[in-house]
Amino acid sequence: MSTPAAASSTITPGTSNPLDNIRIGRVDSYKEFGKIGVGAFDDAWKARHRHSGRKVAIKSVRASRESLLREVALLAACAGNSTVVEFQEVVRGMKADKLYLIIEYARAQPALHHGRTPNH
């Protein structure tokens, strides 16, 4: 994984480049612990913030910057919803054009079927 950089969740609509309104941080603010998921559109790694110790997921988005911005906007719109992971920031990788999302790390939970776990 290349190293990302950090950002705040401030997005101002109506600007020519919405990325101009997001403070972009650095991926090396995080210590990576290994890949936790691979999907058709992205990969994710478990990590810990080097200063706060907060566990996070670092998500690479293979699609365009516009796709990344849409995801940031959706996550920001869902802020406070306990069923949606919390958006933390955007970080830049070692390559200046590679951006990553930092989101809340949520360990997978077994699905419930009629109030029971699948094994019961």
Domains in the chain, CATH or no CATH each: 18-104 (3.30.200.20)
Task: Give residue 61's pLDDT.
Answer: 79
Low-confidence residues in the chain, pLDDT < 50:
1-13
Sign of torsion over alpha carbons 69, 61, 85, 55: negative
Helix, strand, coil shares of the chain, percent, nearest 5, are 15, 35, 50
Q: Output the six-digit token pair for 34.
A: 């290994």
Task: Give residue 117's pLDDT.
Answer: 52
Q: pLDDT tens digits for 43-74?
A: 999 999 999 999 999 998 777 878 888 888 88
Q: Give dist(CA 76, CA 42) in Å, integer.
A: 19
Query: Which residues are 45's β-sheet partners?
Result: 35, 58
